Chains A and B, each alone.
Chain A
Amino acid sequence: MTDYNFAYLDEQTKRMIRRAILKGIAVPGYQVPFASREMPMPYGWGTGGVQVTAACLVPEDKLKVIDQGADDTTNAVSIRRFFQRTANVAVTEATEEATVIQTRHRIPETPLTEGQILVYQVPIPEPLRFLEPRETETRKMHELEEYGLMHVKLYEDIARHGQIATSYAYPVKVEGRYVMDPSPIPKFDNPKLGQNPAIQLFGAGREQRIYALPPYTEVVSLDFDDHPFQPSKAAHDCDLCGAKDSYLDEVITDDAGGRMFVCSDTDFCAGRRAKGHTGRLGEAA
């Protein structure tokens, strides 16, 4: 395709976005405003992540796109094809082969390595938003590190449900400074945010914010002394590959209450089965 500039966005725009990314990396967890562009897809489909990916891509990159851990869902397929057409980059489903991974709602199970970039799609970047609707006030709270309100949310959880019921988009504190929304990843993934060798970038298109975690950043999930943070997952093994420690999707299989649990990370699951692991309902690939 020669009709588009490389990776769709013009070079000035990519430069503008890269500046925002660099600033975000310099101030981990801080939400950098940027001039988000109209993209040829609706808001909510990853316009923020797509712009960040576009600004990062070089022709040598190998791109992986996942949605809820899966490479083969509509959203993942469309975005992957978008960059194949506009940037003509190589694509892959293998986590370890990819140089840039755009994700919605998951961090891959396979540990990331130095040199990789993980781009998150973010719907609402402001972790304080649901408690304090005024943007002027939330900015002031970040500026002055007034984060008591974040614990009020967790307090309400315990008061109402007996435990911290927030199970995704679980707030974290970055390098002891900014409180950050890690995008709607399950809290099971929160421990992977910290000390990660890869660069993690977060793009919110509609809200026009970019933030970042440079490699090996300290990221702590907020909690109470007597109600410590606990990453959780369904108490099952993967029914296909038998993995005990991966995040699972529950799949309803019939109208009679039949269900199965499978790895949400399709690449991870396929990789295990290729190595001969099987679960309750699985068969060796």
Chain B
Amino acid sequence: MTLHSTEFSQKIRDPDQPLLKVEGLTKRYGPRIGCLDVSFDLYPGEVLGIVGESGSGKSTLLSCLAGHQRADLGRIAYDGRDVLGMSETERRRLGRTDWAFVHQNPRDGLRMGVSAGGNVGERLMAVGARHYGDIRDKAQDWLGRVEIASDRIDDRPSAFSGGMQQRLQIARNLVTGPRLVFMDEPTGGLDVSVQARLLDLLRGLVRDLGLSVIIVTHDLAVVRLLAHRLMVMKSGRVVEQGLTDQVLDDPQHAYTQLLVSSVLQV
């Protein structure tokens, strides 16, 4: 099976070049600020957490980065390519191959009327896979990696638990070997024990596949375990960024200090 995605994923990765370079990204909704003048670099294999309260602009930022919304100002370079200047065809293609997006609600990221195997296979078929047996094998392999029993391959996600749906969404996203994964509150709405299992899975995948991840969450415990670096947002602005444990253990900005001190200790 020849997949266009292999040409992406096998590209030689220079760990010293940022995979994603964001400069001055700004999005306004009329007079209201979505996000303002956000800049950062993301390197291969890095997990960047974006935290802040709801309304802080973290989800707006994520959707601008992933191309779901158009930023008003700024630059995004992915692997040296100007993302905002790309044609929509190119950008959507990137979204199906080299990028992945994991939604908070698996219903937003899955086709509920299509079997688990079909959900995982879709991205393969979208990039030209035309061999049923190969597609099914690959789907089977990925279901295994996200700990979904192989006899569930022909079941629809509506018959799955919330945690299974979220794992299926991850398999569906990672099957084409993306290099950059956007995650919007991936553990939100899950039971604590299910959350832990998902965190473990994500950590393993990040490590084994060398993924770069941007994860938006309001859960500081999740970012402590998952993110290498942290960006704290308030009112659309990045008020502090740095090493995750440094930001959490020695916060410099007033808002971050408030945020960290507000967390209930378990």
Contacts and interface: CB of A to CB of B under 8 A. Distances in A.
Bind each other: yes
B133 A226 contact: yes
B92 interface: yes
Interface in B110-138: 111, 113-115, 117-118, 121-127, 130-133, 135-136
Given A144-B88, A144-B92, A158 B132 contact: yes
B72 interface: no
Contact of B121 (A144, A152, A226): A152
Contacts of A149: 122, 125-126
B154 interface: yes
B103 to A, nearest CB: 16
A277 B10 CA distance: 64
Contacts, number: 57
Interface in A180-239: 223-227
Contact of B111 (A151, A152, A224): A152
Contacts of A156: 114-115, 118
A141 to B, nearest CB: 9
Interface in A146-160: 146-149, 151-152, 155-156, 158-160
B125 A151 contact: yes
B114 A152 contact: yes
B131 A159 contact: no
Interface residues of A, number: 18
A148 B132 contact: no
Contacts of A223: 130
Contact of B117 (A148, A155, A226): A155
Interface residues of B, number: 25
B121 A155 contact: yes
B228 to A, nearest CB: 33
A159 B137 CA distance: 12
Contacts of A160: 115, 154
Contacts of A151: 125, 130
A148 B129 CA distance: 9
A39 B123 CA distance: 43
A225 B131 contact: yes
Interface string B81-125: 000000011001000100000000000000101110110011111
A11 to B, nearest CB: 40
B115 A224 contact: no
Given A146-B126, A159-B118, A227 B92 contact: no
A131 interface: yes
Contact of B135 (A131, A146, A147, A155): A155
Nearest to A145: B89
A227 B132 contact: yes
A152 B89 contact: no
Interface string A123-152: 000000001000000000000101111011
Given A144-B88, A144-B92, A146-B126, A224 B131 contact: yes
B132 A155 contact: yes
Contacts of A147: 126
Contact of B131 (A146, A148, A152, A226): A226
A158 B132 CA distance: 8
A145 B123 CA distance: 14
B142 to A, nearest CB: 15
Given A155-B135, A225-B132, 13 more contacts: A131-B111, A144-B88, A147-B126, A148-B122, A148-B127, A149-B126, A152-B121, A155-B117, A160-B115, A160-B154, A223-B130, A225-B131, A226-B132
8 closest residue pairs by CB, A with B? A148-B126, A151-B125, A148-B125, A224-B132, A225-B131, A144-B89, A152-B118, A152-B122
20 contacts: A131-B113, A144-B88, A144-B89, A146-B126, A148-B96, A149-B126, A152-B114, A152-B121, A155-B135, A156-B115, A159-B115, A159-B118, A160-B154, A223-B130, A224-B132, A225-B130, A225-B131, A225-B132, A226-B131, A226-B132
